[in-house]
Structure 1
Amino acid sequence: MALHFERAELAQRRANTIARLEAAGLDGLLMFRQESMFYLTGYDTFGYVFFQCLYLGVDGTVALITRAPDLRQARHTSDINDIRIWVDGPDVNPALQLRDMLAEFGMANKKLGVEYDAYGLTAANGKKLDGALDGFCTLWDASRLVSELRVVKSPAELTYIRRAGELADDAWDAALNTVHGGAFEGDILAAMQGAVFAGGGDYPGNEFIIGAGQDALLCRYFSGRKHIAEKDQITLEWAGAYRHYHAAMMRTIPVGGATPRHIEMHKIATAAMQACRSALKPGEPVGAVFDAYARVCDDNNMFNHRLNACGYSMGTTFAPNWMDWPMFYHANPVIVQPGMVFFLHMILMDSETGFAMCPGHSVIVTDNGNEAVSRHTLDLISR
């Protein structure tokens, strides 16, 4: 069995979840977020692209409904003992089988939490769920219940985060060895992702982001690779991933020498990073971190070139993205606690001049502030 945590830690996480359920007046939880399933049982799959649900009752009952390809997957990667299979068919509705299972557990006329905000619950399947359970029990949106528990990491989780940070550093080293005028973006991606794999890491929750020239002003992956010009710039955003725990990094590399605009933007972006890290401390709202970023940018005439968020939590996440809850944006009231992990990105994208500068790295919140998981500085490096 490929469990990445001690059984006692998984059991304690479920106990903490049950306490939250009881405090909310709920009799059980229907989970559709793969992150929740992994966190509470170790279950590791991409089978959430189909209907599957993990049930946790306040009495400690755990049961999974999934498809046949994930039967052995669940047995091998989790401590779930009760695994139910729904059979593919043209008119099959697995939500009805879920209802029958809940009836078996005595959940008729009970109140159950549901992770509606989940990539594992499409709108179509959500309608089937609501239809199947209408009149059977009361449903309540509990999308963030487990996510709020996941946000503070255990010592074992922080070990994985730090390893992910090392792998992100390895990928950066590979990029620096590969980026130059005339380099092919595909070779850069291959070197970076290869470094993560060679270190025992995983595919990340979303694609690495790469773009040269005007594409350096983009912060999403898109299809189509090209060669870097002799005088150019390239923006990279990537993450080391280890046991699905992520540590993201971001950089813009001037190619053929840094321009005065690159140098100016880098100075402002790194000043913003320093301000954000000063604001990121226990007891303060995460919204204060964004305000620090915005203040430095706006004081330096970068209002039109900054974003409306400057980072988010890092943890165990599955495709389609590695972003976790909560995010740094204005007035976000979530209070920072030791053991939280965040990716801070100081993105500046000047569409008027065509220049970008986007330094970023991941940090762990400590008792007094935060520590970077990267061994690299934010110094401006050109190729």
Structure 2
Amino acid sequence: MPLHFSEEELAERRARTCRLLADNGLDGLLMFRQESMYYLTGYDTFGYCFAQCLYLGADGRNVLLTRAPDLRQAQHTSTIEDIRVWVDHPEAAPFRELRAILEEAGCAGRRLGVEYEAYGLTAANGKRLDAALDGFCSLTDASDLVTRLRAVKSPQEIAYARRAAELADAAWQAALDTAGPGAFEGDILAAMHGAIFSGGGDDPGNEFIIGSGPQALLCRYHTGRRHLDPQDQLTLEWAGTYRHYHAAMMRTLPIGEPLPLHREMHAVARDALLAVEERLKPGNTFGEAFDAHGAVMDAAGYAAHRLNACGYSLGTTFAPTWMDWPMLYHGNPAVFVPGMVVFCHMIIFNSEAGVAMTLGRTNLVTEGGAEPLSKSGLDLEHR
């Protein structure tokens, strides 16, 4: 069974979750976040795009309800022993089957937490869930219960994050080796992904961001590839991913001689990044770290060109995103704790001038402050 954590560590995670359930007056948890299932049992799949639920009782019992393609997936990748399969047919009603499972587990009249904020629970299925359990038990939103546990990493998780950062560095070097005047964006992406896959890495939680020319001012993936001009700019955001743990990086790479504005914006982005990382200390808040970003950007005259968030926690996440809780934005009261892994990205998009600059890397929060997991330098590279 290809577990990536010891059975003892997984059992301790479930025990902590059960203690939290009891502390919150809950008799069980209905999980729809694939991240929670992986974190507590090792279960690894993309089958969460269909109706699927992992029940964890406050007594430690867990039962997975899923489809036939994921029966063996759960048997081979997780510690789950009780796996129930719902059958596809026109009148399929998996949440009525879930109710029967919960009745068997003694949940009638009990109070259960639900991960409503989950990509594995569509709005339509959420309504079906509520309807199936109406009058049977009491449901309350417990979307963040396991998520908050996952924010602080164990030593084994940190080791996976470090390996992910090594793969991110390898991908950046592959991009530098491939980029240049006339280079095709598709070849750059292929080289970056190849470096990660050949290093034993995984698909990331979302697509890599790549854009050149005017599209260098975009910070979302988009389809369509172009060849780089002799004088150009290339924005990349990517993540090394290992055992589903992510270490993200972000860079804007001038092609040809950098414009004076590229150099100016890079200096501002670097100062802002270092200011944010200085705040990544136990006891400080995510909001305070964001404010350090804003202070540097605004003092340099870039208030109109920055974003309203400058990073987020990373960990084991599944499609459609590698972003995790909590996020770096003004007023966020979440506190840094040793063992958190945080991606800080400085993004400056000057639409009037058509010039982009980004700079970002992933840090581990330690007792002494931020430890950059990437070994790549922060100097402005160009090709």
> Fold-level match, TM-score > 0.5?
yes
Name the residue aligned to 1:317.
317
1:357 equivalenced with 2:353 (yes/no) = no
Q: Which amino acid aligns with 2:76?
A: H
2:223 and 2:306 map into 1 onto residues whose CA distance is 25
Aligned-partner SS, 2:156: helix
Name the residue aligned to 1:277.
277
Deviations 1:223-273 (A, max 9, x none): 111101000000000000000000000000000111100000000000001
Name the residue aligned to 1:36.
36
Mapping of residues 107-118 of structure 1, within 5 Å: 107-118=107-118
1:21 equivalenced with 2:21 (yes/no) = yes
1:190 and 1:2 map into 2 onto residues whose CA distance is 28
Deviations 1:352-379 (A, max 9, x none): 1000110000000000101011111111
Name the residue aligned to 2:302.
302
1:91 and 1:324 map into 2 onto residues whose CA distance is 36
Q: Which amino acid aligns with 1:228?
A: L
2:280 and 2:303 map into 1 onto residues whose CA distance is 22
Deviation at 1:345, TM superposition (A): 0.1
1:8 and 1:140 map into 2 onto residues whose CA distance is 30
Aligned-partner SS, 1:45: coil
Q: Which amino acid aligns with 2:118?
A: A
1:185 and 1:335 map into 2 onto residues whose CA distance is 39
Over aligned residues, Cα RMSD in angstroms? 0.4
1:257 and 1:136 map into 2 onto residues whose CA distance is 68
1:205 and 1:113 map into 2 onto residues whose CA distance is 26
Q: Which amino acid aligns with 1:313?
A: S
Mapping of residues 179-190 of structure 1, within 5 Å: 179-190=179-190
Name the residue aligned to 1:160.
160
2:93 and 2:294 map into 1 onto residues whose CA distance is 48
Mapping of residues 144-155 of structure 1, within 5 Å: 144-155=144-155
Aligned-partner SS, 1:358: strand
1:256 and 1:131 map into 2 onto residues whose CA distance is 60
1:154 and 1:165 map into 2 onto residues whose CA distance is 16
Aligned-partner SS, 1:29: strand
Name the residue aligned to 1:211.
211
Deviation at 1:280, TM superposition (A): 1.2
1:349 and 1:326 map into 2 onto residues whose CA distance is 24
2:223 and 2:277 map into 1 onto residues whose CA distance is 34
Mapping of residues 52-131 of structure 1, within 5 Å: 52-131=52-131
Unaligned runs of 5+ in 2: none
Deviation at 1:5, TM superposition (A): 0.1
Aligned-partner SS, 1:204: coil
Name the residue aligned to 1:367.
367
Deviation at 1:92, TM superposition (A): 1.0
1:109 and 1:355 map into 2 onto residues whose CA distance is 60
Name the residue aligned to 1:376.
376
Q: Could you tell me the TM-score, scaled by structure 2's length?
A: 1.00
1:132 and 1:95 map into 2 onto residues whose CA distance is 6
Q: How many residues align?
A: 383
Name the residue aligned to 2:48.
48
Q: Which amino acid aligns with 1:366?
A: T
Deviation at 1:166, TM superposition (A): 0.2
Deviations 1:191-231 (A, max 9, x none): 00000000000000000000001100000001111101000
